[in-house]
Amino acid sequence: MTVVIIILLIAAIALFVLSFMQKDESKQIETELEEVASQLMHENYELKKRVSLLEKAMNLSREPVEQADSEAEAETEAENVSPKMKSLLKKQVITLYTSGISVDEIVEQVTLPKEEIEQTIEEYLEH
C-alpha cells in the first residue's frame, strides 16, 4: 500500500514538473488575438475617419438649390407616410429635440418637412 502511494506521489511530481516545461500555447493564441483586435480597431477608426471626411465633403458641396430639392422630396415622402409612421416620426423628432439636436439636424435625419418638425416641437413645448 505504501509503495502505491509513493509511486503515485512520484508520478504527480513528475507530471507537475513536466507541466512547467511544456510551451504555453494559450499565451501565443492570446497574443495573436490581441493583435487581430488591435488591427480591427485601427481599421474601424480609419473607416470612421474616411466616412466623416466624405460626409463633410458632401455637406460642403451641397448648394441651396439642392437643399430646396431635398426639402421638396421630404415633403412628398411625408405625404405618403401612414399615420402610425407619422406618429413614430413625431416621437423621434421630440426625442432628438430633447437630446439637444438642432432643428436643421433633425430635418436631415427625419423624412418630415421642416414646418411639420417645427410644429411638432411647438406642440411638445406647449404641453
Q: What is the pLDDT of residue 14?
A: 93
Is 121:97 a contact under the CB 8 Å cutoff? yes
Half-sphere exposure for 71 (CA within 13 Å, toward CB): 16
What pLDDT, in 10s, does the model give residues 59-79?
765 555 455 555 555 555 545
Sequence ranges of the domains in the chain: 1-62, 83-126
Three-class SS of residue 100?
coil
- Give Cα separations from 23 to 11, 18, 27, 32, 58 (angstroms): 20, 10, 9, 16, 54
pLDDT of residue 29: 84
Three-class SS of 47-80: HHHHHHHHHHHHHHHCCHHHHHHHHHHHHHHHHC
Residue 76's pLDDT is 55
| CB 78 within 8 Å of CB 112 | yes
pLDDT category at 4 given cuts 50, 70, 90 is very high
Give the per-residue pLDDT at 31. Answer: 85
Q: Which three cell numbers stand for residue 40?
A: 480591427
Q: Any idea which of 41-55, 62-76, 98-112 has the lowest mean pLDDT?
A: 62-76
